[in-house]
Each structure stands twice: as C-alpha cells, then as structure tokens.
Structure 1
C-alpha cells in the first residue's frame, strides 16, 4: 500500500503525519526547532551572490533574526487564499502567485517527510477550514488555490478535509466500538480560534463529512494576541514606551509614536522600526530624556539593531504557558544588554486577556445556539491548540458543559494526526 501524508497547513504553524503500512506517525519536520514536529508557516527570502534563497520554519526565523529587513519576510499567507485581490507579489524581480508561495512550504514538508520515511509520497490529505469565506466565489477561489498549491508542491493526488473533522477523527479513535457522539471541537491557533459542533462515531464516519457538521464559528483571536498583551503590559516599558520628554518646539510632552508601539507588540514587525524616520524620532527623544529614560530608549535601539524580538517573545510565550499550571510565573530575559525580570500572576494575566476571552465566550455561545441542540446534548468537548490550556478559556467550556466532558490530545498536532488517519482510511 502506497504511503500518504496528512498535512495541517496552518496560518502560523504547520505539521505533517505519515500513513505508512497502516500506521500513522507524526514526523519531526523542523530540525532545530524546540517543537520539532511543528513548522512555522513562514517564508523568508534573501538575495545572496546574485541568487534568491528561500527559507521556511525555524531556519527561516534564524535567517530573519540575522538579516531582518534586508530580506523579505512573509507569514499568514494562508489567510489570503480567499482574497482575489492577491494575484502575485514580486520578490527580487520574480513574480510569485499565492499558490507558488504556499507550494514552497508544502514542498519542503513533502521532501523532509519523504526523507524521514525513506519513500516517495504522491498522495496527501490537506486540512482546510470548514468555510474560507461566506462568499461562494471566494470560497471556490480558496479551494482551487489550495489544491493547486499542493499539486505545484509535487503531490499527484490531493484530497481536502476540514480541520475540525480531522481533529474529531483523532478523537473518534478513542471511542468504544459502535458508539456515536455529538462533539464540540475547539481549535485554538496562534491567530484564530475556531469552533465546530459535529457528529462522530466508531467505526469512523467516511465519505463527505459536511452532513455531520451542525454548526461552525470562529474569530481572529489566538495565542499571539495574548503574547502581545503581555508585551504591552509587562515588557514594553523596558523599551521606553512610557518615556515622555518635552518637545523641542513647545512645552508639550511627547513620546514614541502609536505606530512604533504597535510594531513592538509583534516580533516579526520589529524590523519595520528601522525606518530612518523612526530611528530619528528615538534619537530626538534621547536628547531631552534623563539618564534612566535614555537607557530605556537605548534598549529599544538595540532591539531594533540586533532584531532579537523573536527570542524575547519566546520568553513571553514560556511565561504564558507556565501560567496555565501555576499561579505565577517570572518572565526572564537577560541578553543583548538588557535585563528583564517581571513577575506575572495568573490573576494579572487573566485581567489582561479578559476582554478577548469574553469575545471567545460569545463565539462559543453563538456556535452552540446555531447547532440547534442544547448544551446538555453535547457528549464531549475536544480541545486542541496551546491556548486551550489557559484556565480562563477552559472555564468557558467547563461552566457550560462540565469538566468531565473535556477531552484533549496533543495541543499542536491533533489536526495533522487526524489528517494522517484520514489518509490511512482513504487509500
């Protein structure tokens, strides 16, 4: 039986499972990454000795840290699949369609997966959202583009499966024989959160699973938003965000511009601060600042020059993850001439994210209401994604459905594993 891949191509992270001889295995496709079976869905291009070089995943991030704004960085390209205005983009004189950009990522995953299992793979089951767009033409455009991208990456047979169905497929495997359930799937990504109410069973349902879906919902709030809030409330002050000095031309107090503050909240946008106007603004503030404030602004200059935002945000993410299991965490970062030690309690963190969690809560309510069934009829809640471990978020499901109904699997690879199971069934 020919091997097949299941690929969860995500907005922020991707993963790959292989179905070989009826066994499904998650593959470590991003060497060097601390989470080696998850690949960051980023592309980074640089021009070197007359050639354009492209990098993905952990290696792409490393190159970006080293070269920053000198290269071309792209992320969240999946989010453009349904956007007809995105026809092509020029990178160092060559035009790339969206399908070609996505194929670069998928091709690297294909090659690395083939190297690991030692066999060529022509068949792939590729994850997709339940709905790319409520507009029918945009929906068709997104579907066509995703299939074309996989074909450009070298796959001969491409099958799409809905991501929540794939997550549920992983859960179906745990059900006793001849059992059916109604399940609420919550998939928490880095940039979005998606919810689906659907029917599952053992033996697993086959064929078109759309008829099993009772309702769907989602919003663009995810783990990156929570990291940004920690940056804003606990870390950014170390980079002069609270500095106010008297203007050179009036008695008014002035500080860093809102645009600078916005870029600081996302690590991949920090190199954008290298613009001459921004650097001049920082130097101007330093002239009128006292010694302490001047040191903070120098921290900002080093952050921009050395482009260590990714490493800083990894420290932020680590502290956030610890708060899921502990009442407090200390965010520690000591490098590049800056020393940061900030204690964060779970209560403080929950106060930071409460407004965003309220929006997630409302989306879950809407999804359940649209399913046409009562919460008491939901047999299980299957949660996946790192933010599903945040107690305030888990509380949304525990209060409605009961803690005993909540089931979890690997937070970052459940969808990929389910797609691998799908690939195994479909051959």
Structure 2
C-alpha cells in the first residue's frame, strides 16, 4: 500500500512518496521545486494560511500584521501549553500543526495524483525525558496527523531512520553512532550495522534532548542581545522598597524562537506596559520601548534570523570580531560580539547535547572507542562547536557528514517499505 514518509522538523520539513511497488519518490514542496519546506506558518487573516518561503514573503508584505509561527514542534511536550489565540479563536497546538500537515498532504496528493492516507512520521528519540510528556507529544502529533486527513499513522524515531538510510549501502559489520542535530532536537542512536534483516537487539542505545540549533540561537539572544530589549530592566513600584527585575518567565519567552511570538498575548502585553511606568531610569524605559516595537511589529522571526546569521558568520570567521546590527524604526542595536566570548557563553548548550550523547554509551555498556563511525546529519551538525566536541571524543577520521537534510526522510521511506 502507498505511504507518505514525513520528516516534520522544527526548522524544515520533507516528504517522500512510497508507491505500492516500493519505489521512493521525493515530493517537491515549494513552488520553485525545492524538496525542503521550512516549517513556518503565517496567517494574515481568518482562513488564509501561508507556508515556508511564502509565509516569510507574506509576513513582510503584510508588515507583520497577523500571526507568524515557527518551531511549532517545540510545544508538543509542554503539558501547560493550551494553545494560542489566532484571529479571536483559541487554537490548540494539534490544530496548528494539522494546518501545516494538511498542506503537506495536499501538495503531495496534487503531485502524486493519489489520495494517500497512510504515513510514516518521524519523531525525536525523546520529545522529553519525562515519559508522560514524551507520550503527550506523540499523542498530540498523532491527533494532528488525523486532523490533517491521515488514517494510518506509524511513528519511527528520527535517528533510527537516519541509520536505516545510512545502512542501505552498507556491506560490512560495524558499530555506528547516528547523531542527528536539528533545529529543535539532538538525537542519538547507537546501532550495529550488518547485512541481512534487523531486530531490536541491533539498537544498542537511544537518546535525545530538546536542545539544538534553536537553543544555540536562544542562548545568543540571552547572553548578547536581550539586554537591548530590557532583560536587565529594573523597576520600583510606588511605596515599595525593593528594586524588581525583568521577569524570568518572560525572558525565557524572549529568548526562544518558538515562544517569542507569545509575548504579544494580552495578559503579558498589559503586564509589560504596567511595569514600564515604574522604570527606575530613562535608559531602562527606552529598552522596554524597543521590546514593545519588537513584539507589536512581530519582529521575532527577523531578529532570530539575524541571530542565526551571526552564528554562521562567527563559525565561519572565528578570528574576526563580529558586529551584530539590527535596525528598525524604534529599534537600533549595534552589539560587538567577540568569538571567544561567544563560544564560552554557548558552551553550556553544547554540554547539554554532549551529555545526552553519552547516555547511549551508559545504556549499551560500550565505550566511545568501540564506535567505528559517527554519522552526522541535520542542519546543526555543521556548527563548529559541535564538530569540535565530536572530533575530540571520536577523532576526526570517524566523523562522516551524511545527507545533512535528507537522511531522516530517506530512512522513514525505507521503514515504510519494510512494513509491507
């Protein structure tokens, strides 16, 4: 039976069509024929939705009026995330993701001229280390797929899928670590590759953490840019003796590519407006004004896009001082970032990723020296600090960059073929 294989990623999404005979066909998802659709949603008004590149174009054309969503996958394991208001209607996370999945299915059905209702969906090795949250995330993803029109939904861990894709041309027995570094998650599978069929015993270790490219960008915002939006804001209420600081909960939202859009919600907006009245100095008030412009004009996506570009530039030119600049009516940022300081501040994120990687060795009782190859996939695998850490652990000669963006959807397709 025909299937779709969908890699719904935090940053990018891909889809393959597997026909009855087992032939795998990548499906172009963008109008220009690109197979990668950025996991972005924009709705300027009720009933109108735009996706990927067009979401960005329409966001700019509409001067940010509407709701712009990115990194939706990050909300799946959050039990306290009930949804958000979209054009005066509360939408659950399952509904938002279903809008995106339904469009994927529509574009694929138009391309294949088939109505395919069976899907193999990728999922992180762990949506969350908490089992209840992990199950909640998968249940939500299943419900979103059902709302999108799929009737048979099968999940496959993304790093396992990358391993299956890596293995399709393998002819020898070896132990391989599949390391999938995406936008939202870092996933790891330690597996034994060999000829013939596979069993569960060939999966030696499986681990993951919801820390990857977005977390690196969030830490950059936190340590270098957020002060321009009032993260060091201080205020004192009338007749109060204590100097109060910018709320940590709101700082966490400001420093998250997924959550920053929620600073616009009514209760948060009114709270920020209220505390601004009690600013202890004009400079603090000015910085909060910049935050209001950021939120009101929905500049979360462009500011984090600039932060991502800074990450790429600093990694590419680690010996040069970097000047982060962002200008918009009401916002003027000119922040020098030393590559040395940048790497020091970001190291806390890399440490969390590497700690998760090491979990697979505790599970398997194997040592790092037992690994024959390390297969690197996912866009964040190209980040210099990650590569440096892996090189120190395993040796540069064992690292293999493999199908950075396509390995997961390729492996999901191989998994679909094995189902029949």
Normalised to the residue count of structure 2, the TM-score between the two structures is 0.79
CA distance change for structure 1 residues 297 and 31 in 2, over 3 Å: closer, same or farther?
farther
Equivalent of 2:251 in 261, 264, 267 = 261
CA contact (8 A) 2:15 2:27 kept: yes
Between the aligned partners of 2:355 and 2:300, the Cα distance in structure 1 is 33
Are 1:193 and 2:175 an aligned pair? Answer: no
Structure 1: gaps (5+ residues): none
How far apart, in 1, do the equivalents of 2:369 and 2:337 lie? 36
Q: 1:226 aligns with which of 205, 213, 216?
A: 216
How many Å separate the matches in 1 of 2:101 and 2:75? 16
| Aligned pair partner of 1:404 in 388, 397, 413 | 397
Structure 1 residue 312, shift from structure 2 partner: 0.6
Residue of structure 1 equivalent to 2:276: 282
2:226 equivalent in structure 1 = 236
Indicate whether 1:312 and 2:303 are aligned.
yes
Superposition deviation, residue 419 in structure 1? 1.6
Quickly say closer, same or farther: Cα 1:418–1:53, change in 2 above 3 A.
same
Contact conserved, 1:10 with 1:78, CA < 8 A, in 2? no
Shift in Å, 1:314: 0.3
Deviation at 1:68, TM superposition (A): 7.6
Aligned to 1:106: 101
Q: Could you tell me how far apart the structure 1 residues matched to 2:75 and 2:278 are?
A: 38
The alignment status of 1:213 with 2:183, answered yes or no, reads: no
Aligned twin of 1:180: 173
Deviation at 1:24, TM superposition (A): 4.1
Alignment of 1:9-20 (within 5 A): 9-11=8-10, 13-19=12-18
Contact 1:82 1:138 in 2 (8 A): yes
Structure 1 Cα separation of the partners of residues 405 and 281 of structure 2: 45
Decide whether the 8 Å contact of 2:208 with 2:356 is kept in 1.
yes
Structure 2 portions without partners, runs of 5+ = none
CA deviations on 1:268-326 (whole Å, 9 max, x unpaired) are 333248622211322442xx534x55543432232222121210110001111233332
Using the alignment, how far apart are the partners of 2:23 and 2:286 within structure 1? 57
Alignment-derived partner of residue 300 in structure 1: 291
Q: For residue 325 of structure 1, what is the aligned residue in structure 2?
A: 316
Matched, 1:154 2:119: no
Structure 1 residue 226, shift from structure 2 partner: 1.4
Which residues in structure 2 correspond to 1:239-254 (within 5 Å)?
A: 239-244=229-234, 249=239, 253=243
Q: Is the 8 A contact 1:26 1:37 kept in 2?
A: no
Partners of 2:232 and 2:130 lie apart in 1 by 44
Which residue does the alignment assign to 1:29?
A: 29
